[in-house]
Amino acid sequence: MYIRRVKIEKEYHYVLRETVRSHDVWVSRDLMDLGTDPCRHIEYPGGNGFYFNPEVDEALCAKGVEYASEDLEEVFFPFLEPHVRRVMRNFSHPPGRCRGPNAVPGEDLWKYERELHPFDKRRLHYLRCGRIDIGELEGRSWKFLKVLLGKCRDEIECVIEEMEGRLRPQELGSYVYAAFDLQSHFPGHVLRNIPVGLDPDRIDECLLAEICRLNDDPRYFAGMNGHDGRTLHPFLVKYLILHFDHGYERRSLLDELMNDFERRRRCARPAPRGAGMALQEAFAVFGITDEEFQAMSRRELVRRYRRHARNRHPDQGGNHEDFLRLTRAYEVLLVRK
């Protein structure tokens, strides 16, 4: 179960909904209209105790819903009094957070994960990791995706919207860029993961193309009725607003290049045996002696590497082989710190 805010006529209502499996897809069904304020369905007899109005139980029973009191506490957690939420957070599992897939048998976890749309995987990856360079998400299981399993399109959007609300304003542009995989439109470009350095008009064109493609994707709207693709769905309208209302975080372009390079080096496969470098040779590459290296802290070594790398990076006019030699020397010295 989950609570969704929807517009009914001229005012917003909160609707209690449930995700169910129907014809091999997840769909949602309305259980109860909670009105404009879900708080009115919660009673406080005193202290830190509370209970739900009998009409909630009656509505759920009428729909044939089997539930425990903990399920309602989880769903209504954001609407409880602040002091009650503080007390409940002391439990082993913090209420108000998704416990993972509901009603999904263990043997079906991988099956349902493969049903997740790539757009959902990319969004959740950025929301969890905060990185544009997502890598390959298909073809294997990822634990962080479990929060979306066993949910219909409407509930997935509800979960993601709550997480999007915690993004900082300067992250919103990069989030949209990564969510729609716009870096794939700049293959081989050295700045493909640094959108602030790319042509903004080209990015706009790519985003519009990806949004239109997604708006016509029946897999994304699986289990939903009433969308014909002739108008842009409200789920996607907000991304146009986020993109055009927020730019990209402006940091040093060179720092972005170095961070991107170092991240790729960390994710690369280890060098084969015999491809290492002698310690004395590494000292010579950095222009230091054994005594200077012993007195150097790890942070000082990293700073020295970055200083040399700025001058030797191929994108800054340096020699490619010299840069690789510097990096190998850095790896040899870093493990000793």
Write down the mean pLDDT value for the chain: 83
Say if residues 255 and 238 touch (Cβ distance below 8 Å): no
Short-list 334, 146, 171, CA closest to 246: 171
- Rounded CA separation 101/107 (Å): 12
For residue 98, pLDDT over 50 is answered with no
Distance (Å, rounded) from C-alpha 127 to C-alpha 120? Answer: 10
Q: Identify whether the C-beta of residue 34 lies closer than 8 Å to the C-beta of residue 41.
A: yes
Q: How far is Cα 210 from Cα 203, in angstroms, rounded to an integer?
A: 11
Tokens 């222009």, located at residue: 287
Q: What pLDDT sits at residue 229?
A: 80
CB 54 within 8 A of CB 101: no
Look up the pTM and report it.
0.67
Q: Is the pLDDT of residue 95 over 60?
A: no
| Token output for 93 | 């599992």
Instruction: Identify the bridge partners of residue 77 per DSSP, sorted by sequence position.
Output: none
Q: For residue 281, is it left (φ>0), alpha (ψ between -120 and 50) or beta?
A: alpha
The residue among 171, 179, 198 whose CA lies nearest residue 187 is 198
pLDDT in tens, 116-134: 999 999 999 999 988 888 8
Q: Which CATH class is domain 269-334?
A: mainly alpha
Q: What is the pLDDT of residues 206-239, one digit of tens each?
A: 999 999 999 999 999 998 888 888 899 999 999 9
Domain locations along the chain = 2-88, 106-245, 269-334
Closest CA to 312 of 283, 289, 286: 286
Round to whole Å and give the CA distance between 217 and 207.
15
The C-alpha R_g of the chain, in whole angstroms, comes to 26
Length of the chain: 337
- Neighbouring C-beta atoms of residue 87, cutoff 10 Å: 14
Which range among 28-37, 68-77, 260-269, 304-313 has the greatest average pLDDT?
28-37
Q: Other C-beta atoms within 10 Å of 3: how many?
A: 18
User: Tens digit of pLDDT for each residue in 273-290?
Assistant: 434 578 899 999 999 999
Tokens of 244: 């055009």
| pLDDT for 18 | 93
